[in-house]
Structure 1
């Protein structure tokens, strides 16, 4: 017999109509909005005489940062790896990330390890990231892969705002299950949206929406024979998008993952897509494109994958 759970009403402000049914469900553990469920991360980077410095940071569970690292090959860049003391993202979690890079600063933000989205029976989990880069600044926001456990329901929304002369590189890799355990496309729903704005308005929007119970992700034109999907957005409105697209396509042509590059609308930059059977092959392919892009944008190679 099912036991009725007495919890506060769930937040029905769903990120997409497909999530409205989930939003009406109250999690049987801590409610949406409870301490530990609403994680907040705020980072502000500014230029100083010693290079870029993290001048403000605020984090609540499940986010944790241990300060900046001298990890980046760029002499003036600051690096922050976001850590988590929890076992992953749970149902009802809501995470808000705000990263600001002031003019002429250079920052690299990543996660220490993969984001594990746990199995769910009620509600859903969501992460909203708001990124801004000031005039002449540069941001690399390249988290480790997102792993969707069986029955996971996850929405992530990223908004980027660029001032004149600013650039950014955004990475995203999704792994549809714990592949070593034979868990493949057993998650319930995944929605990822990216939106970029420049000084004159909207540059581009991109969305990935996978729901294996409704539409076969292995169908031709979706993921086909592949399992892991990755994207890298090189947002540089004042660069030559056609030339950059050719350069990045060349960088990934001989990599193990199947990949290609294409110019984004409105001269916004270039998108690189990669498909593979393992997260490592997709990561290495996108890293090759990231490295080529950084050398062009800020005259410095991309950092290595080492996180310690």
Structure 2
């Protein structure tokens, strides 16, 4: 006998009041919580005599992990590219990622390709990532861009916890549609929130909320003439944030994208913002900043963009 899957369409589960109306809508296909809709990924990295190793991994559809790669410029780092056998993120999907880097380990986690958030008519899609880095450890969490198809409704929430002496680099690039098809700003709603805390408490919070039907993203002071938006957080409490900000600002101002850097509050580190007409130009600027910051933090350049 088939087991009935409960349909978790409850406004109380919505990540933000703007998503409450969507949460009450039941997708006509697989319900929220059905097999394949709730993806879970758990990764744990630890130091070993041979360098950092992936000591625990667990993945359910749509996540897949085939193992670690060892081509990182850092001799002790482990790299994981998260794969997906599906065509993208669909309405009603709920994805949860948990990554733990133990003390003195160095890890780089990315996605094999862009995250494509499909068009939606019911409910919404949400992704949460919980990252933790132990004392003296380092994590680079730099996924490929997120592409918001027409009518997409997407929320992502990332939390970072750092022990003393730990550092992290977090990257996020948003592409507002399939630009080659002229699908610019045709998504319905996008919400991204980032929170970080250190051993002494909260470090910073950052949020991006775009809803083209309510407020024009192309307005001055938002994205203006540009389409693609990217952010790189270099989270390194206790370091010279002002000096790093000046250094990274000088690096990205020579790039094709319109970019700049600023120090984060509470001495947390630096945020680099970039705007461009194409994902590639924004990626190039953020990679230049990542490369510079990583040399300072762990004494090695950022990995190249190849995904094999």
Matches within 5 A, 1:214-293: 214-293=214-293
Partner of 1:3: none
State the alpha-carbon separation in 1 of the partners of residues 28 and 280 from structure 2.
Answer: 35
Matched positions, count: 303
Q: Which residue of 1 aligns with 2:33?
A: 33
Cα distance between partner residues in 2 of 1:201 and 1:25: 37
Shift of 1:238: 1.4
Query: Cα distance, 1:160 vs. partner?
Result: 0.0
Aligned 8 A contact 2:8 2:33 in 1: no
Q: Deviations over 1:26-55 (max 9, x none)?
A: 000000000000000000000000000000
Q: Residue by residue, what CA displacement relative to the aligned partner does 1:77-109 show, whole Å, maximum 9, x if unpaired?
A: 000000000000000000000000000000000
CA deviations 1:129-162 (Å, max 9, x no partner) are 0000000000000000000000000000000000
| Contact kept? 1:153, 1:187, Cα under 8 Å | yes
CA deviation vs aligned residue, 1:195-215 (integer Å, no higher than 9, x gap): 000001000000000000000
Q: 1:132 matched to which residue of 2?
A: 132
The SS at the match of 2:160 is strand
1:164 counterpart residue number? 164
Correspondences of 1:140-155 after superposition (within 5 Å) = 140-155=140-155
Give the deviation of 1:11 after TM superposition.
3.3
- In structure 2, what is the equivalent of residue 84 of structure 1? 84
CA RMSD, 1 decimal: 0.9
CA distance in 1, matches of 2:7, 2:239: 50
Residue 8 of structure 1 deviates from its aligned partner by 3.0
The answer on whether the counterparts of 1:7 and 1:26 sit within 8 Å (CA) in structure 2 is no
1:9 offset after TM fit, Å?
5.0
Q: Distance in 2 between matches of 1:83 and 1:11?
A: 30
Matched with 1:11 is 10
CA–CA separation in structure 1 for the residues paired with 2:7 and 2:155: 22
Are the counterparts in 2 of residues 88 and 118 from structure 1 also a CA contact under 8 Å? yes
Residue 118 of structure 1 contacts residue 150 of structure 1 at CA under 8 Å; is this kept in 2? yes
Distance 1:278 1:100, change over 3 A: same
Please, which runs of 5 or more residues in structure 2 have no aligned partner? Answer: none
Q: Residue 208 of structure 1: SS of its match in structure 2? A: strand
1:170-198 residue CA offsets vs partner (Å, 9 max, x unmatched): 00000000001110000000000000000
SS in structure 1 of the partner of residue 14 of structure 2: coil
Task: Determine the C-alpha separation between the residues in 1 that align with 2:26 and 2:60.
Answer: 22
| In 2: Cα distance, 1:7 partner to 1:118 partner | 23
> Which runs of 4 or more aligned residues in structure 1 lie more than 4 Å from their structure 2 counterparts after TM superposition?
none
Distance 2:190 2:148 in 1: 8
Q: What is the TM-score normalised by the length of structure 2? A: 0.97
Aligned 8 A contact 2:7 2:33 in 1: no
The Cα offsets for residues 235-293 of structure 1, whole Å up to 9 and x where unpaired, read as: 00011000000110011011000000000000000000000000000000000000000
TM-score normalised by structure 1 residue count: 0.97
Separation in 1, partners of 2:247, 2:221: 25
Structure 1 residue ranges without an equivalent (≥5): 1-5
